[in-house]
Structure 1
Amino acid sequence: MLFAVINKDKPDHIHIRLENRPRHLEWLDGLNEKGTLKIAGPFLDAQEKPCGSLLLIEAADQAAAEAIAAEDPYAHAGLFEKVEVKPYKWLYNNPEA
């Protein structure tokens, strides 16, 4: 089952994002190698600076998806103000359909 992980950064925490980006990208690479990660990328503010992120992941259920989201190095570093994990149906342009 697919899940959207929607992360909103805390205001004025771009330094936390930048400091932890290498570990975050390594983590995403690992998810990608396992086939868990489908889509990933940052949301941008008016100045085109990252202010959150969207991940589309595959997990067995809600609890498994939340556990994956909790492993994000950005989450461990305290970057996120809010994290939402929602079931998602990829209807259009799904390469696996």
Structure 2
Amino acid sequence: MNAQTKMSAKGQIVIPKELRERLDWATGTELEIEESAGGLILRAARKDRKRLSLEEFRARRPKYEGPPLTLEEIDRRVEQAMAEHFKKEYRIKR
């Protein structure tokens, strides 16, 4: 969905109702704002965000015991996993 809104003199913007409902953003939802090359990214804040060290990440990741994967297969699997994560994280209903 594409939408337009205007910023008030106080820097406030209105997020269209259809988007708020689809994203399940109720009054009081805490949001994160991230600057990107093209503008801003707005998303619901996650309270459980804890950075892991590389050692913690390696200890938590499941061990892969199958045959070696090509870079294309790795890319495809990462893309699939990110799509699933995105749907769950942002409650995309498709």
Please, what TM-score do these two structures have when normalized by structure 1? 0.25
Q: Kindly indicate whether structure 1 or structure 2 has the higher relative contact order, using CA contacts under 8 Å at least 6 residues apart.
A: 1
Structure (1 or 2) with the larger CA radius of gyration: 2
More strand by percentage: 1
Please, what TM-score do these two structures have when normalized by structure 2? 0.25
